[in-house]
Amino acid sequence: MTKPELSDPIPVRLPVDVLAGIEEIAAATERSRSWVMVRAMKLYLANEGAQILNIVAGREEAAQGGGHDIDDVIAELDQIVQGKVA
C-alpha cells in the first residue's frame, strides 16, 4: 500500500476534553493521535463537510436560475398522489 502524501505539520489547539478523547481512542486502538484525528476529519469531510458543499452548490445553481419553482413541484406531487401521473 502506498503512503499518502503528507502536508507540513499544522499546529492546532484543541479543547482539553477533545484531546483526552483522542488520546484515549489512540491508546485503545494502539494508533497515534494523528491517525485518530485524520480519521475523524475524513469522516467529517465525507458527511457534514459534503453536505455543506452540496448546499453551497445548490445555492449557486439557484442563483444562476437553476432549480424548480416550489409551487410547480407541489402541484406535480399532488397529481402523483391523486394518481393522475404515472
Question: What is the pLDDT, as a whole number, of residue 77?
Answer: 93
Q: What is the mean pLDDT of the chain?
A: 93
The rounded distance, in Å, linking the Cα atoms of 50 and 43 is 10
For residue 21, how many other CB atoms are within 10 A of its CB?
14
Name residues of the chain where pLDDT drops below 70. 85-86
The C-alpha cell at 16 is 482539553
Question: What is the pLDDT, as a whole number, of residue 27?
Answer: 98
Dihedral over alpha carbons 70, 72, 75, 79 (to 10 degrees):
-130
Nearest 5°: the CA angle 52, 55, 58 is 150
Question: What is the pLDDT, as a whole number, of residue 48?
Answer: 97
pTM above 0.75, yes or no: no
